[in-house]
Amino acid sequence: MEIFNFFLSEGKDYSYLKKQYKKNKKLETIPQNSFPVKCHNGTFVGKEKENIISYKGIPFAKPPIKNLRWKPPVECDNSNDIFEAYCFEKSPIQSVCEGETASNYEIGEDCLYLNIWKNNDNEKNKPVMVFIHGGAFGWGGTSDFLYEGFNFVKNHKDIILVTIAYRVGMMGFIDLTQIKGGENYKASPNLGLLDQIQALKWINKNIENFGGDKNNVTIFGESAGASSVTILPLIKGSKGLFKRIISQSGSFAWAITRDEGKILIDEIKSEIKKERKEEIDMDYLLNLSEEEIINLNERVDHSIYAPMRDGYIIPEDCYGEVERGAYDGIDVMIGSNADEIGYFICEFGSYFLFSIGFILFLENILYKRIKKNGYELFSEYEKCVKDAKSNFLNDLLFRSPALKLAQLHSKNNGNAYLYYWTYPSSIPYFGACHAVELAYVFNNLHVDIFIGDKNINYKLADVSQNMWANFAKSGNPSTKDCKWEKYDEKNNYYMVLGKEVELKKNLFNKKRDELILPILDQYISYNYMDLSYNVPMVRKAIFIILAIFGVIISVLLNKYLTK
């Protein structure tokens, strides 16, 4: 049966990408007929294709290696040297992941680079869009086919597009203060976010040389990147580095507590203890070779990584910070997809396994994580929402945090725009899944990993890309054919992006939002590392198995005794 297929998305082999990695070289002179741009840390020479110039692999921080391992990023030194900017640099250390093409590329600790696309002209003061990739904070990279910026800039020549890398997984989101000798690594749970801020500082210092306006920067991201762009305004040192944010299917609701982070560090300790009897300490970790780090990361690649609400880098109460005005002066565009959870079919390997796993995850939330009356809350939710199980998780993890952020920001007279993506993938069971909008926003419709290869909506790609670009230019995503009203609590405006693109008000049942919004301050994340099997689903399954086993035994005994 189709539901038992191992990979419904027909997983592809991208292992050849590792062979394509090439290190950008230092040059003695600027080549003739090239496209050099002088920056504070060197002159970078780009490549031109159909009048679009790309600059790939520009360093925005010193390599976070040796004595800088697990330390906050450090600004590059000034330099008059000349470098190629032809190729993507390494992806951050990670294991290979089915949904993350960049995980197949060359990986390494030396990964803090960015990429720029611009039209070949001498125009100045262009709006700048900076994309932060997703990957659950443990995977991903800028070499992913989805994030290639050529088509975006070709369609919007008045935009400068930048994609940035950051440390992921155990190099970027691990609490080393819980390890002996780790007291000087207070920033370690959120290094990936500090990398993003350092990239924005580089952009602020150098982007005018590419024709960009450093005072008109929009940061946008999907999944972990979406979570990042909602967190960055809350971090000291980020003010003035961007003017607008676009959050696609993610928010600071996923940030974890220090206690939750302990699960990960204990997992790493456990892995190391299999080979080493002594207690793990920082000296041991710092003396690991890059190859040993990669190997250790492979062994814990099922772990969950996330930023930490540590009270040091990220405030413990993110919603409260927004309510108190942390987003003042920032325009916000934020939304989610109708079937976010469908993405995780490929993570489980089949729809059948996914169906079991996501119900186990849901019941853990209802019975273990919601502080009280989770089951009663869900019973009320079922009365007013179709397909309650999947929609409950969609709301709790994606749509409702976006709605609450828009509500809080609009109460402070901030500009907030909500969207809801409904156009589906052609891959069976995926629906309008997590990440399905990426190929449309970048207009990279040949990348079929999430959207499939059938029923591609080319008009939707143009419309959505125009909306994203218009928001970056002016703070208003409206197009000439479609006016997008900013959010207000009376009308609850959503821009629905599907077979039709239309503005809707009060799109969702009011009761539905009233049930979910009050529990968001519990910050229930996608963490599945501490799942309990002591939930009704498992107990029922055990009862059914025992009952079937009992019937079989009874039949066999009856048959034996009647001989």
For the annotated catalytic residues, the residue numbers are 223
CB-based contact 436:346 (threshold 8 Å): no
Q: Please give the DSSP secondary-structure letter assigned to residue 334.
A: E
In this structure, the strands spanning 331-337 and 126-132 are unpaired
- Token output for 82: 């000349």
- Token output for 286: 């710092």
Instruction: In whole angstroms, give the CA distance from residue 441 to residue 443.
Output: 5
- How many DSSP H helices and E strands does the chain contain? 18, 14
How many degrees, rounded to 5, is the angle at CA 42 between CA 242 and CA 54?
A: 65
- Token output for 401: 């945090």
Instruction: In whole angstroms, give the CA distance from residue 100 to residue 23.
Output: 22
Give the number of other CB atoms < 10 A from CB of residue 65. 12
495 Cβ neighbours under 8 A, 6+ residues apart: 335, 417, 418, 419, 420, 467, 477, 482, 484, 501, 502, 503, 504
Q: Please give the DSSP secondary-structure letter assigned to residue 205.
A: H
Query: Hey, which residues does 420 pair with through a beta bridge?
Result: 336, 496
Q: Which of 132, 140, 22 is nearest to 91 (CA)?
A: 140
Instruction: In whole angstroms, give the CA distance from residue 312 to residue 135.
Output: 24
- Token output for 487: 């959010």
Residue type, 338: A
CB-based contact 363:535 (threshold 8 Å): yes
Residue 490 to residues 296, 411, 486, 510, 515: CA-CA distances in angstroms?
A: 52, 12, 11, 11, 18
Using DSSP's 3-state secondary structure scheme, residue 394 falls into: helix
- Token output for 559: 């048959």
Q: Which of 238, 231, 242, 219 is nearest to 309 (CA)?
A: 231
Using DSSP's 3-state secondary structure scheme, residue 405 falls into: helix
Q: Please give the DSSP secondary-structure letter assigned to residue 103.
A: G
- Token output for 102: 């960049």
In this structure, the strands spanning 160-164 and 212-222 are unpaired
